[in-house]
Chain A
Amino acid sequence: MISPQVLNEWYPVGMIAQVGPWPGRLTGLLGAPVVIFTTGQGAIVVQSARGVPLAVTLAYGHVWACPGTPAHALFALPEATQPGRRLVDCGVVRVKCSPLRAVENFLDIAHFPFVHTDILGAEPHTEVNRYEVQIREEVDEVWATKVHFYQPQAAKSAAGGIVTDYMYRVAAPTAAVLYKTCPNRTDEWDVIGIFVQPLTEELCDVYPYMALFDDVTPLAELIHFQQMIFLQDRSILENQIPRLLPLDPGMEIPTQADLTSVAYRRWLKRRGLTYGAQRVAA
C-alpha cells in the first residue's frame, strides 16, 4: 500500500520530445504500469493500465505525472524560461537503485575526487568546508548554500581548474537541482537538474537536465559531458547496500560533509515520503 503522501507528489515519466501517438510509450510509476501518448489534438496523456488518466504537468522538457491528487503545483524553476539559457535534455538512464539514493548522490560533493576524478574533483583537494543547509518552509524544499569545491574541469566550457560555488536544492521527493558557477557569466548560475522516475522502490529512470549559459559548445558535447558524469555515478548507485535508502540514523554514518543528505533524509521522513526508503523504526 503506497501512502497518499507519496501518491500526491509529482514525478517525471518521460521527455516531452519523445512522446508519440497511441500506443505511445509504456513505462512505470511507483510499481504500476503507465502509458504516455499524444492525442490527435496534440495533448499529452498519462494513464494507468485501467485507462485512468493521471494529473499531468509539462515542464522543463519533461512530462510530470501525479498518481494521486496533487498536493501542490510542480516546483518552480524560473531559469528554464530565462532568455539566453540553453535548455538541454540529456536523455534517460536506467539505474538499479532506489530513486532516493539517486537524488542523494546528486546532492553529494565529497565523492567528486574519487568518482569524477580530474573532472569535478581530484586529490588532494578533497576537503569539504562547512556549508549551510536549511529546509525552506515556505516552499517546503531542502536547500544547501555556500558550498565551495575545487574542480579541475567544472563544465564542458571550463578552461582549467577553478573553485566552484554551488547551491543545491531538493525541489520534489525525486527531483533535485543544483546551481553552480557559470564559467561564461559571473553574474549567473548554471542550472543542472536530475529528475528521477521511480519505477519501483529499487529501480529508476534518471533524466539529467541542464539550463546553461553556453552558446559555443555543440549540443552533443554538452549531452556527452552530462552523461559521462552521471554514468560515473551509476556503478556506485548500483552497488550500495542496502538498495533502499536507510532513514534510521544508526544505519549509516554521516559527517559534516553530509549535511545535505542528513536534511534530505529528515525531510523525507517528516513528510512520509518513504517510497524507496528502508522503513525501520527509529
Chain B
Amino acid sequence: MTATMTELESIVAAKVVDARGAACPGPLLEAKKGMPGVPIGSVIEIWSSDPVTKTDISAWSGKVGHEFLGVLEADGYDRVLVRRAK
C-alpha cells in the first residue's frame, strides 16, 4: 500500500543515502549496500537525480521483499522511500 503524500512527508528515515549524480545502476547499488544498516521496520531514503531510480527501486523492493513507500520530489532530485521488511 502506497502512503499518502502527507504520510510520506512525515517519515523520518533511519538512513539517507545520497546517490545524486549517479546514474543506474549506481542508486540501486547504494540502496542495496545501505539496507543492512537500517533496522527492520525502519525506512531508508535514497536521493537520486536520475528519474529512472524510483521505478527501479520500486521493482527491486518488490523482488527482494521490502516495502516501497513512495517518492517525494525535491529540488532537482527524488527522495525515494523504502521500508526495510526483513
> Is the pairing of A and B real?
no
